[in-house]
Amino acid sequence: MKRRHFLLGLGALAGAGALAACSNEAPAPAPPSGAPPAPSTTTSSAPPTYEGEAALVALGAAVSALAGELLGQAAAGAGQGRYGAVPPVVAAYLSGAAAQHVAHAEAWNRLLVAGGRTAVDGAPLTIEPTLRARLDAARAPVDLLGLAADVTGTVAATVTAMVGEVTDAAAVTLAAGVGPVAAMHGATADFLLGRPPTAPDDPTAGALGPDALTV
């Protein structure tokens, strides 16, 4: 089939050349030497920008997506033996927490789209390169749990702080639901690391603000 299309294309080119040869019209003049090239008509869409409460909702989507991506990749690597012998409970924790954070990111993005905004693509955050480098450098289950404790703690603090900053009822409800789940993930990682359970003095300590977005 490809050869047939190729031969048909050659025939079309030959026909076009014959028509041009028989035409009485003069060929279009070539551009003068040294003339600037014609401007390109290719356009690229500008990245989305978020302001006001939309920036907070976008922040929720990005930080949840980041947690989902990192924990999901950690779980996948554990299944491939990349980090040595990972206890089943740790692997189950990583995959389960990842799925919940991905679902949270999707919920935040649905709020953005419902408000006429563009959904956040990936995890455009200033902290993303540092946390991803930590995952790349991980060599043992303890490294994965330490990363999980930190990233889920960031999610919990960020969305808990958002409860008092957003006014949209759907956003308040979502933040109030996501915060405790992320805090539970952080507490579970601490437990698996053998750390004593402690309640934070300030549950919003370490929260990200909209300035952490890179879009």
CA 69-72-74 angle, to 5 degrees, is: 110
* pLDDT bucket at 200, cuts 50 / 70 / 90: confident
Instruction: Specify the DSSP element, H or E, that contains 98.
Output: helix 88-114
DSSP code, position 39:
P
Counts of helices then strands in the chain (DSSP H, E):
6, 0
Distance (Å) of CA 89 to CA 95, 142, 145: 10, 13, 11
Residue 141 sits in which domain range?
Answer: 53-212
Q: How far apart (Å, rounded) are the C-alpha atoms in residues 102 and 64?
A: 7
Tell me, yes or no, whether 34 lies in a domain.
no
Q: How far apart (Å, rounded) are the C-alpha atoms in residues 144 and 86?
A: 10
User: Contact 175/159 with Cβ under 8 angstroms?
Assistant: yes
Tell me, yes or no, whether 109 lies in a domain.
yes
98-124 pLDDT tens trace? 999 999 999 999 999 999 999 999 999
Q: Tell me which amino acid residue 213 is.
A: L
The pLDDT value given to residue 65: 98
The pLDDT value given to residue 3: 36
Tell me, yes or no, whether 19 lies in a domain.
no
User: What token pair was written down for 47?
Assistant: 């990245």
The pLDDT value given to residue 21: 36
User: Contact 72/102 with Cβ under 8 angstroms?
Assistant: yes
Query: In this structure, how many other beta carbons lie within 10 angstroms of the beta carbon of residue 193?
Result: 14
- What is the domain-level CATH number for residue 142? 1.20.1260.10
Tell me, yes or no, whether 132 lies in a domain.
yes
Tell me, yes or no, whether 182 lies in a domain.
yes
- What's the number of domains the chain is made of? 1
Tell me, yes or no, whether 7 lies in a domain.
no
Cα 111 to the center of its chain, rounded Å: 16
129-187 pLDDT tens trace? 999 999 999 999 999 999 999 999 999 999 999 999 999 999 999 999 999 999 999 99
Question: Which of 47-61, 173-187, 192-206 is modeled with the greatest confidence?
Answer: 173-187
Tell me, yes or no, whether 43 lies in a domain.
no
Instruction: Specify the DSSP element, H or E, that contains 111.
Output: helix 88-114
pTM of the full structure: 0.78
With 0-12 / 13-18 / 19 or more C-beta atoms within 10 angstroms meaning exposed / middle / buried, residue 206 is middle
The fraction of the chain above a pLDDT of 70, given in percent, is: 78
Tell me, yes or no, whether 35 lies in a domain.
no
